Amino acid sequence: MNPTGFCYQRGKVVLEAKQVTKEYRLGQERVQALSSVDFAAGQGDFVVINGPSGSGKSTLLNLLSLIDRPTRGEVLLDGKPTSSLPEGRLADLRKTRIGLVFQSFNLVPVLSAWENAEYPLLLQRVPRSERRERLQAMLSAVGLQGLENRRPDELSGGQRQRVAIARALISEPMIILADEPTANLDSATGAQVMGLLRDLNEQHCVLFIVVTHDPAVTDYAERTINIRDGQLHAGDEHVATVTAS
């Protein structure tokens, strides 16, 4: 297997939210964060969900990544419902089918770039020879040749985010969900990271969903969903109502 050559069938719908509502209890009150959201994205899409703090985008990301469950409605992964699955099964899906990129990188400080990127493969018990092959190819693909042995505190912000991207992709997932991937980067470095994400999206046909408050990130989108003033819009089409984050 070519570790950087994995590619999925472009266009197949792989992630859906059907009439998804999310409510939280605050004291004696129930706060509705998402109301009857419908969303679908296909393999190879590059979707940006754009909105300010408090708009509901973080809630939506948590549901799409299977970190949280909807109060009502259903999230489907590859056409299969997930809301009633046990926690262990959801964890397995997150390890093998979904890659996550965080704004704070979430790297282990005492591990090298190589070791941070390798960690998901260790959890999956991938044989050592295959781990080495995948890691060499993936770290090269994200531009970290020669930096494999550096710890996070020896890397720049952009380099740390590249490690996080390599870690997210190393399991060859169907979907990458990126939460504010440029928030801790200067504009030039942020543009480099977004360019890298687009290149990887095109190479591997992985579905990328990027959540951001930065309008500049929408320049990289094939499709933009805007969350503003309590409403979720795809272009000019009203999709759903969102009332809190």
The larger pLDDT score, comparing residue 35 to residue 77, is at 77
State pLDDT tens for residues 124-168: 999 999 999 999 999 999 999 999 999 999 999 999 999 999 999
Note whether residue 199 is domain-resident. yes
Yes or no: say if 134 and 115 are a contact pair by the CB < 8 Å rule: no
* Spatial distance between the Cα atoms of 35 and 20, rounded to a whole number of angstroms: 6
Yes or no: say if 208 and 197 are a contact pair by the CB < 8 Å rule: yes
Average pLDDT, integer, range 68-94: 95
The larger pLDDT score, comparing residue 5 to residue 101, is at 101
**Number of domains the chain is built from:** 1
> Does residue 108 carry a pLDDT above 90?
yes
> Does residue 3 carry a pLDDT above 60?
no
Q: Which residue has the tokens 């099964």?
A: 89
Note whether residue 3 is domain-resident. no
Note whether residue 36 is domain-resident. yes
Phi, psi of 114 (to 5 degrees): -60, -50
Yes or no: say if 114 and 150 are a contact pair by the CB < 8 Å rule: no
- In order, the DSSP letters of 71-83 are SEEEEEETTEE-T
pLDDT for res 234: 63
Average pLDDT, integer, range 88-109: 93
* Spatial distance between the Cα atoms of 185 and 169, rounded to a whole number of angstroms: 20
Tokens of 151: 């710890």
* Spatial distance between the Cα atoms of 132 and 2, rounded to a whole number of angstroms: 12
> Does residue 100 carry a pLDDT above 70?
yes
Query: Who contacts 220 (Cβ-Cβ below 8 Å, separation ≥6)?
Result: 46, 48, 194, 195, 197, 198, 210
> Does residue 2 carry a pLDDT above 60?
no
Average pLDDT, integer, range 47-69: 89
> Does residue 9 carry a pLDDT above 90?
no
Note whether residue 185 is domain-resident. yes
State pLDDT tens for residues 180-207: 999 889 999 999 999 999 999 999 999 9
CATH of the domain at 70: 3.40.50.300
Residue 175's domain spans which residues? 13-242
* Spatial distance between the Cα atoms of 111 and 114, rounded to a whole number of angstroms: 8
pTM of the model: 0.89
State pLDDT tens for residues 203-237: 999 999 999 988 899 999 999 988 764 556 665 33
Phi, psi of 86 (to 5 degrees): -65, 160
Sign of CA dihedral 156, 161, 163, 164: positive
Above pLDDT 70, what percent of the chain?
91
pLDDT for res 227: 74
Query: What integer best gives the mean pLDDT of the chain?
Result: 88
pLDDT for res 184: 87
Note whether residue 7 is domain-resident. no
Note whether residue 34 is domain-resident. yes
* Spatial distance between the Cα atoms of 42 and 189, rounded to a whole number of angstroms: 28
Note whether residue 8 is domain-resident. no
Note whether residue 209 is domain-resident. yes
Residue 6 pLDDT class (50, 70, 90 cuts): confident
The larger pLDDT score, comparing residue 79 to residue 6, is at 79
State pLDDT tens for residues 17-28: 999 999 988 888
